[in-house]
Structure 1
């Protein structure tokens, strides 16, 4: 299959375990080639904490036996649970001639635009990736770029709205 400019496949995966999804993202990224279309995976996870490269176990105070996974994305600690929308972005950023900052800004803007369509005013903050409504962080971002391709993505916490 030849890649067509701006082609993105969207997969609705529903409620899926974190570990299997994490492995699938890595496998997808490792085996993609120049013709592999970019994908967005829309899903939820059962309760899980993920520790990005800057995350430290001491940042978790009371996990109530919720699984913890040390992973290869940027960022610190993120809690995932049913009801939270997760969007994993499997994109060939090199092919799009984007840098990490441009991808992060596009992710933030997509969330800001979506919330604006629901009459919710959201903003980004300098030096604090994510999207905020008032003082609450509504969307967390964390990425990994390998071989010029991104995986991981963002999570939107609807309970904060």
Structure 2
């Protein structure tokens, strides 16, 4: 599991030059990140602190050509983040970005939550128990997020990359399919039901939103989690659909290794090979 970001901690937050020690909300930190990109020193050369965790930002791109906002993706390992916090942050980031804003890939986990996409029907939420239910603006129907599930949010300028939403769905699905092939597992997509399946059981779910030519939301991949809450819904609107996870398929990768492999295959699919 990734290290977590505690949104309620007075000591949490992003520390950028000139703002050391100032706690701020996640959307505010995003605003600081956007401003930080415009600083004379490139952001990828500057250490940042996220909840007292220090790491250098690493750009993903082709080492054979200069890194630009057209060819690079900035990955962020955000840990355990409340769903609504991440959702509103994605919207804020998308609204604030411009033609010079680099694309980002957010890798994180959520506390237990059911989310209902724009096509969701209430009858597919059979018995939510005490788990929160959130109506969100992504495409798709109902799904479950919880610790032990890798969530990859793709904040991409689709117009700049010259790819459509259907092509992006293929890219995300193929990234997971390629990841699984490294473990010797055959998987595939399903026409009319986006996601990745292993012997009819769903392993990864997708849901996206496009605004102003830019997308957000993304993909969830079950790694090592409690799958019980999926029994309380019709996953993705399909009654009786079985779900699975890497652990049950005999794959022992942890969250960080899975995230690293996913990023590598995503780059391959985007033809931005490092």
Give the aligned partner of residue 113 of structure 2. 48
Alignment correspondent of 2:234: none
Alignment partner of 1:89 is 2:164: no
Deviation at 1:57, TM superposition (A): 2.4
Deviation at 1:4, TM superposition (A): 3.4
> What does residue 83 of structure 2 align with?
18
> Relative contact order (alpha carbons < 8 A, sep ≥ 6): 1 or 2 greater?
1
List 4+ stretches of structure 1 deviating above 2 A: 1-5
- With the length of structure 1 as denominator, give the TM-score of the two structures: 0.96
Q: Which of 127, 133, 136 is the equivalent residue of 1:71?
A: 136
TM-score, normalization: structure 2?
Answer: 0.57
RMSD: 1.3
Rounded Cα–Cα distance in structure 1 between residues aligned with 2:162 and 2:107? 24
Greater helix proportion: 2
Q: Which residue of 2 aligns with 1:39?
A: 104
Aligned partner of residue 24 in structure 1, secondary structure? helix
* Post-superposition offset of 1:3: 3.9
Which has a greater percent of strand? Answer: 1
Q: Is the CA contact 2:187–2:198 (under 8 Å) kept in the aligned structure 1? A: yes
Specify every segment of 5 or more residues in structure 1 that has no aligned partner in the other structure, as ranges: none
1:6 CA displacement? 1.6
Q: What is the aligned residue count? A: 161
Q: 2:184 aligns with which of 105, 119, 123?
A: 119
Contact 1:3 1:34 in 2 (8 A): no
Q: 2:69 and 2:129 mapped to 1: Cα distance?
A: 46
- Other structure's SS at 1:9 match: strand
Hey, what does 1:104 align to over in structure 2? Answer: 169
Give the greater-gyration-radius structure (CA).
2
Q: For residues 145 and 69 of structure 2, what CA distance do their matches in structure 1 show?
A: 33
Q: Is the contact between residue 203 and residue 222 of structure 2 (CA under 8 Å) also seen in structure 1?
A: yes
Preserved contact between residue 69 and residue 101 of structure 2 (Cα < 8 Å): no
Name stretches of at least 5 consecutive residues in structure 2 with no aligned partner: 1-37, 39-66, 225-243, 247-274
Q: Could you tell which deviates more after superposition, 120-129 or 143-152?
A: 120-129
